[in-house]
Structure 1
């Protein structure tokens, strides 16, 4: 092998393979390294001097942006502009007038300096590589040991055990002998290798231990990779990055004495503001929907019920003029208004305002009984402008009494220090999770957050779920206390940050939007007794003892929302319980908790403490009265009130009773659906279970975005299914007509409850999740589609915590896990081009770091970032090429050879034209349709919408056109008798095929075979697959049969009706004919008799 420092002599650069460790420890190698390092430092010094000289007169200085936590003025990332002095202006004026001649002097002679520079370079051996050997001088023979000497030296070192190097020592030796490339393109990393190793060490779902990282470094060095650092060098860089651009993990101590660490939510939000991939998606104002409700900013909480002071307090117009709520402003028409809430309407800013008029004495009167919506573009002057121009009118006494005058200027204006001020709302999630690898329970209370100013399609991505804290000791409520203090600190000191959309600094204030969690955790943060209490609903006061719930009135009350529960009511009840605890008696508290349904786990700790203290005080002094003890303890309670009561109950803008929305996963899927599933499968026989499994496995999933159905697994583990299995087939992420939608939800929820109680009436008194369905309407109005507050993303994030917990040091788990996840947040921010403050300026990663994230889908997936490319309606994908011999080809087919030849509009295309087979085509609804998909499309034959199934996808590359061959079906006049769903049939049982251009496809949908009428059975047999191979074991499967018998029945019915009608008509005709013949005979008989009589008479 070769040693890099000893390459001067090409004939003697090889070292024996058995002696490389000894050579690394030898004096020869150390001297060579020292000489190489000295030469490199000299060259670097000269190079820096040359660069400094070249750039001295051309250096551009950029103005640093204020730090995001300090500073008062708004600044932009622009170069500093030189302001000329008066003398300079006079000089340039004289020059322009031609009165001054400039003399730059004679050119300096740099010949001597150049000779000196060349001499230095020659001495350093930079420009003359031939002299490198001479630099080594007489010691060259000592450097170049032969193989025999190497072997002797190796044996000697082995005997004295000097060659036993550990991994870190090998790293140190190797890194000294390799050239390290430096480039700002990989900033803040020194090179690409360092960036990749840091990314590898911070992947959320692929946690790497220190030992494994050392092995990776060893493998890279052995493989000849460049720029491989030592383990210590990597950790040193990561420690530096954590100080400069990481999320700080701050220590907190709860009121109960538990210590834990919290990742600063202010920094997490600041990173979103300064990230070019995230900031464009932040919605900072409520919006008035145009009939379509999709997000929380469309719902009533943001639009109506939220205190306007908690939402965005100001609007920044295009001229940098800031309009604040509760401040007087004037429109371009000269009218005075007071904005009270900023809203978006059709993409433009508007304001809910109170009109201000002047009475006959020019005093301002506020018309606050009517809210007027105006466009923000109509505003001309804000309150400061009116003050400067002395246009603020005198206030009427009614306006002064109502407090309008005292609220001007808005206090937030001073806190913003001239920057735009926004408010970010956070969803706070808490959950209990085991930190162990094994099944033994090691409880950790975890808290996560999401920025709910982002659309829910992004919030469902792992990338946008942020870790806050964990602790094996402190409860979620204790950890929320620290979170709350941080949130409320921004109300007094807004956080300054770079707004990448404007390039200017901005400030934000934090608030809490909702608390999505599972039902037990939502009950805990709401101070609720839980689902087993008499009052089992956290959202209302419904319930009572069993006698009440079993009465006619009480039982019916469980089907509708009760009197709403509020944080104020909960806090008042807790104060009563604390007051009773000061008397040292527990039973009245227990009774009160059962009667009210209020039992707060956080306050219960202090209630128990107060009871014990009261009893101890009574024991120490038996003569002391209970009232005296209670008075002393109540005094202590008054001083420590903030520590005693649940912090969720006093958080501005957040009411745990109403802001803990119904959670779809635990309430619907793991609640209602699981109840139905349990009630179904527990009564089945083995034969019925087998039949169910076979029929479930035969489900056609085309058109459904769900995981593959594993029917055998579902039946085998029927009593322990999770949300992945008990999943929804269809989500409604958009609400088009809110009133109609809410009515449908009420009917659907009512039907579910009625079915449950028809099967088992006691379920309604026992299952809290059933009653929660009555609150669906309220939560949808407040938060919009409930899929937007689903907890699946949080539950998935538990896996990332689990990986960090396994690889933590287990000595300080809260700190270690917080720091690991803070490092992950920092990596995500760096690779996505986010900015961070550094030495009074704002910096971001080098261009190669940013481009790496954009061009590497694997890294995007590993970091949980999903940036799907927008689908284009009508676009298509070709089938993969096939291997034919040594070539890969994509076969062509003629149109006349395809199923398209049977289409009714086949003649509209050239029969001999050649086409490729395609695998996918995109519909107008951006559905990725494949062969076998059921679609709606516009027919080119008659222009009507047709339904059918795709038989083939054909693509003509020459004209860039895709067509599908569609098997046409028609909707039957009646719905399915069992499922009450539309039925597709062929017209008169005949096959109809049309060629449909891809651009005509509207959307796809799901269709299931009507096995009931076709009488499909498990008649098929196929080899069972194990390890992806077919075995000799045969398994049954459902064979879908064409419903010929049903069609025969229909035809028989039609035939019978037709024949019956014909028979009836023929019978009627025969009866009529017979009746006519009888009448004729009778008439003929009468005439003959008369004639005879006449004749006779004659």
Structure 2
């Protein structure tokens, strides 16, 4: 910088000093940890990371503190677990009227007596927000309460009886808290013997808070193995990231809100979670500055659910994994392959089984460790096979115990020189000798049990003498700490996620089953068809069909996301009817998985989602009855309805954003010196968190003045205005996007003039009729636009398919008998031109959109089960704010007989035009299209707009149980033959290897 002439460049020493001061003031500090298995790693603890959220105005305004009752479920705080299952003692404990300067320091806590403005006494149980209800004001905080009958006594006391009936009142109706009531009645405040004791005292959190507000944050930890290299050489690191579940999902889908915690090349996720869970302890409160309340607060962290891929979630749940006989981490379904082929075993795979619970898992782990102390390796393996329980941390101790038992057994039983003196007696024979050997083995078992309890030594020595964990196995030290971490149950709270359980599961399976037998001609036909797809309303990049066919067995998630939305339109003549039905079932279910909001949860799960899951599994059974036995990802789908009910829409527990953040981690990895990667990466990403906090306007305590300060105005404005910096930090702000917003077509580079049209010319060119109420005067001048923003904030370009409100739309050619609406006042159209009146402001009222009007037929296409769009050959005019949302439609090439031809465009190579023409689909006419019901974008809006009979799924099998029985009967025959053939081949292989070994020895 000095060489470039930059003024006032600080010295390197001054820079490092400033950085050290910022680390001290802001954090996070990278702490060194030694895992229970003796592995070293560094962690940026989430307590300090989330303290930044409270003190950052950019983030704090989006933190939703309390669970919310809402008719529309789009966030995890509106779903069942947060709203109904979570213990009130794990929710935010207090509320105050922050909008009132007089009342903001009157804190109301749960489990305390309070008085309302009407003079009634109540016990507050929890706080909840009511949103969008008809009988109460939306967005208000309410209190779930118990009514209290009170009676004034002659000694100016108060006698209270607490009732068991719960009710809900607005929090604003509370007038006095327990401290004010005690100040009034003092010792005269008494409760009846029937009143629960826990509600008759001051909440002990008041003593901890010292008058400061207290909150609890629910967080989402994630872990996976990641390569630290950019090259193909795999450099395994196990990473842990975490996000703030109190932020809206649209923000959590941005890399800006992913918080890096730790990485290690040696410590597993189970070991790193031990360090992470230090921040989840019930007595752990962290002080920070709340920039919205302008005061210091205390907050706690509690985990909510654990997204990851299936192998990682199995480790998290102390499960044996997908290759075990009981290969579901969620339930006890499964068994041997022969059992899965029976009627009961096979039918069970199509439904969720008896749920696992942590108590049984812990008992199973304890039993395995106890058996390992006795040296019974086979018993440990049989237990893992029979129960599906295999814990990462306990397995470390089991392996050591088995070795130690062998050593003790050799020393004290088998070695004549060192064995127990009792075994030296020549008269000790037969059963008597066996009893002595058994007794010595039991002594060894008890000694090894006491030994393992004292491991690891450093952790054991820190325990107090009266600590119950001193004489027993301890979570974290001896087995998975998540099994006893408050707030989560690893069996229930590891939801199936979209990337690995769907895109790399059923999507991948159906693609492989379809394409594996294709000839080169079939591949070429499908590639041309796929490349010719209309992409408007899909929000996916061009499919690169030739690449996908060339590497059809090495595709990744984005390719399968494109295929599930488009492939079904192009498979005619390329696959069997069974596979085609499977593609339809896959596309229909996939679209519902990506819905960002659910308006009626019961209808969604029972009448839509469950039927689609059943259809997909039955379609797979038609193609390959054994697939559900061999692929656990199909059975995982049966648990998705419960996951969605408990956590919200499936996109909430998707993991793509974590996978995207891996690129940030990878850059830190390759730029480190690779001598201490865990420490170096933690420091580098800790520095990035500080930079994000400072540049985005976050506050921190100044060491010198002891005041909370933030960066200057110029720095904050630089972040707000510089989109390049925002992109680098993973921040996207859509608050400035407004419906009806347009972008003009750029002016000509040479003349620097914009294209202009007279309305009369447009009418002539499009064969329109003037005089419409919304149509402007014939002599008005208009500029063309590239795009217009819909109400759902979709970018709608010329040629896009859109739904719009018909009440604000004028039809140039009035044809009311053809106006079959999607629903009231809604119709479908395709944009022809976007115009804004010359010289006028870019207000939506000054924008006119010309659209081709399409009729939606009252029946579905029989082949694809999709609504049919028919061109009415009329143009309608809409204003800028009439567009509701965009959608995708594909030309019905099958019914119109479209064929592959040569287009007028040329193939581009090295950014230069070649002489080769592109092959494409030549559409016969422009009159019939199919509304793409497999599209992920706006799937929820499309299904709300269309009539019920056009979107309701139809069960694929009328009697599923009988269908599965028939399949089971055939599997029991083919399965026996398959296993017999496998045994024969194995025997032949062993014999062949034996002969080869003998020949080599001779």
Q: Which residues in structure 2 correspond to 1:767-786 (within 5 Å)?
A: 767-786=631-650
Q: 1:609 to 1:953 in 2, by over 3 A?
A: same
Q: Does 1:847 align with 2:713?
A: yes
Partner of 1:704: 538
1:641 matched residue in structure 2? 474
Task: For residues 584-643 of structure 1, give each alpha carbon's deviation from its aligned partner in whole angstroms, at most 9, with x where no partner exists.
Answer: 211111101100010111211111222223333333333361222222333342345241
1:372 positional shift: 1.2
Pair 1:742-2:584 in alignment:
no
CA distance 1:973–1:316, change in 2 (3 Å): closer
**Distance in 2, Cα, partners of 1:259 & 1:487:** 21
Larger radius of gyration: 1
CA distance in 2, matches of 1:833, 1:946: 45
Aligned to 1:123: none
CA distance in 1, matches of 2:839, 2:244: 48
Q: Does 1:829 align with 2:693?
A: yes
CA apart distance, 1:932: 0.5
Change (3 A) 1:647 1:893: same
2:265 to 466, 472, 494: 472
Matched residues in 2 for 1:607 and 1:899: separation?
83
Deviation, 1:403, is: 4.4
**Counterpart in 2 of 1:423?**
216
2:110 to 320, 325, 329: 325
Segments of 5+ residues of structure 1 without an aligned counterpart are 1-216, 1047-1098
What's 2:76 paired with? 296
* Matching of residue 1023 in structure 1 with residue 816 in structure 2: no
Contact between 2:392 and 2:479, CA under 8 Å: does it hold in 1? Answer: no
What CA distance in whole angstroms lies between the structure 2 residues aligned with 1:940 and 1:442?
A: 62
- Measured in 1, the distance between the counterparts of 2:734 and 2:926 equals 41
Q: 1:900 Cα deviation (Å)? A: 6.2
Partner Cα distance (1:358, 1:338) in 2 = 12
Q: Is the 8 A contact 1:495 1:507 kept in 2?
A: yes
Partner of 2:180: 385
Q: How much has 1:349 moved relative to structure 2?
A: 1.1
Give the Cα–Cα distance (whole angstroms) in 2 for the partners of residues 611 and 411 of structure 1. Answer: 47
* Structure 1 residue 492, shift from structure 2 partner: 2.1
- Give deviations 1:411-437, integer Å, cap 9, x for gaps: 222121211100011111101112234
Alpha-carbon offset, residue 926 of structure 1: 2.8
Give distance in 1, aligned partners of 2:838 and 2:23: 52
Q: What's 1:546 paired with?
A: 337
Partner of 1:111 in structure 2?
Answer: none
**C-alpha distance in structure 1 between counterparts of 2:613 and 2:719, whole Å:** 45
Question: What's the offset of the Cα at 1:571?
Answer: 1.0
- Match in the other structure for 2:595: 732
Equivalent pair of 1:900/1:906 in contact (CA under 8 Å): no
Query: What does 1:617-656 correspond to in 2, within 5 Å?
Result: 617-622=408-413, 623=420, 625-636=440-451, 637=453, 638-642=471-475, 643-656=477-490
Indicate whether 1:933 and 2:933 are aligned.
no
Partner of 1:5: none
CA 1:399–1:576 in structure 2 vs 1: closer, same or farther (change >3 Å)?
farther
- SS of corresponding position for 1:625: helix
Q: Distance in 2 between matches of 1:243 and 1:330?
A: 44
Deviation (angstroms), 1:711 = 0.9
1:911 is the counterpart of 2:792:
no
Q: Give the aligned length.
A: 815
CA distance in 1, matches of 2:907, 2:354: 58
Q: Secondary structure at the match of 1:910?
A: coil
Query: Within 2, Cα distance between the matches of 1:461 and 1:782?
Result: 23
Structure 1 residues 777-926: aligned runs within 5 Å: 777-839=641-703, 840-884=706-750, 887-898=751-762, 902=766, 904-908=768-772, 909-926=776-793
Separation in structure 2 between the aligned mates of residue 925 and residue 621 of structure 1, nearest angstrom:
77
In structure 1, C-alpha distance between the alignment counterparts of 2:677 and 2:480, rounded to whole Å: 25
| CA distance in 2 between partners of 1:389 and 1:612 (Å) | 69
* Counterpart residue number, 2:286: 495
Deviation at 1:851, TM superposition (A): 1.6
Query: Cα distance 1:914–1:404, how it changes in 2: closer, same or farther (>3 A)?
Result: closer
- Residue matched to 2:27: 246
CA contact (8 A) 2:163 2:195 kept: no
Select the residue among 589, 611, 636 that pairs with 2:380: 589
**What are the within-5 Å matches in structure 2 for residues 553-564 of structure 1?**
553-564=344-355
Superposed displacement of residue 1005, structure 1: 1.7
In structure 2, do the counterparts of structure 1 residues 543 and 224 end up closer, same or farther at CA, with 3 Å as the change threshold? Answer: same
Partners of 1:764 and 1:1039 in 2: how far apart?
40
Change (3 A) 1:903 1:924: farther
Residue equivalent to 2:864: 979
Moved more, 498-507 or 937-946: 937-946
Aligned to 1:1003: 885
Contact 1:903 1:993 in 2 (8 A): no
**Cα offset, 1:396, TM superposition:** 2.9
Query: Contact (CA 8 Å) 2:112, 2:123: kept in 1 or not?
Result: yes
SS of alignment partner, residue 559 of structure 2: coil
1:576–1:873 Cα change, 3 Å: same
Aligned counterpart for 1:283 among listed residues 64, 83, 89:
64
- Aligned residue for 1:661? 495
Displacement of 1:928 in angstroms is: 2.1
| Residue aligning to 1:967 | 852
Deviates more, 1:312-321 or 1:801-810: 312-321
Offset at 1:229?
A: 4.7
TM-score, scaled relative to structure 1: 0.72
Does the CA-based 8 Å contact 2:531-2:542 persist in structure 1? no
User: For 1:940-991, what per-residue CA distance to the aligned partner results, in whole angstroms no more than 9, with x for missing partners?
Assistant: 246964432211112103344111222222223432221121112234xxx2
Q: Distance in 1 between matches of 2:117 and 2:828?
A: 56
> Which range is displaced more, 991-1000 or 817-826?
991-1000
Instruction: Provide closer, same or farther for how the CA distance between residues 344 and 973 of structure 1 changes in structure 2, counting only shifts above 3 A.
Output: closer
Are the structure 2 counterparts of residues 945 and 359 from structure 1 closer, same or farther at C-alpha, using a change threshold of 3 Å? closer
Question: 1:258 matched to which residue of 2?
Answer: 39
- Measured in 2, the distance between the counterparts of 1:566 and 1:764 equals 24
User: Could you tell me how far 1:358 is from its partner in structure 2?
Assistant: 5.1
CA displacement at 1:898 relative to structure 2: 2.4
Consecutive unaligned residues of structure 2, counting only runs of 5 or more, are 131-137, 414-419, 421-438, 454-470, 566-590, 817-824, 930-1002
C-alpha distance in 2, partners of 1:363/1:959? 72
Contact 1:875-1:922 within 8 A present in 2 as well: yes
Distance 2:917 2:539 in 1: 30
Structure 2 CA distance, aligned partners of 1:1045 and 1:273? 54
Contact 1:700–1:1007 (Cα < 8 Å) also in 2: yes
Structure-2 change in CA distance of 1:981 and 1:279 (3 Å): same
Q: How does 1:45-84 map to 2 (within 5 A)?
A: none
| 2: CA distance, partners of 1:287 / 1:725 | 37
Q: Does 2:353 correspond to 1:353?
A: no
Separation (CA, whole Å) in 2 of partners of 1:754 and 1:305 = 33
Instruction: Note the C-alpha offset of 1:869.
Output: 4.0
Q: 1:742 to 1:772 in 2, by over 3 A?
A: same
Shift of the 995–358 alpha-carbon distance from structure 1 to 2, 3 Å rule, reads closer
User: Is the alpha carbon distance of 1:1045 and 1:452 closer, same or farther for their aligned partners in structure 2, counting shifts above 3 Å?
Assistant: closer
Shifted more, 453-462 versus 853-862: the winner is: 853-862
**Does the Cα contact within 8 Å between 1:478 and 1:602 map onto a contact in 2?**
yes
CA distance in 2, matches of 1:639, 1:869: 55
Instruction: Check whether the contact 2:869–2:928 (CA below 8 A) recurs between aligned residues.
Output: no
**3-state SS of the aligned residue for 1:257?**
coil
Distance in 1 (CA, whole Å) between partners of 2:12 and 2:531 is 51
C-alpha distance in structure 2 between counterparts of 1:1043 and 1:940, whole Å: 23
Q: After TM superposition, give the deviation of residue 564 of structure 1 in Å.
A: 0.9
Shift of 1:998: 2.4
After TM superposition, the structure 1 stretch with the greater mean CA deviation from structure 2, 645-654 or 887-896, is 887-896
Tell me: CA distance 1:650–1:513, structure 2 relative to 1, closer, same or farther (3 Å): same
How far did residue 395 of structure 1 move?
2.8
Which residue pairs with 1:952 in the alignment?
A: 833
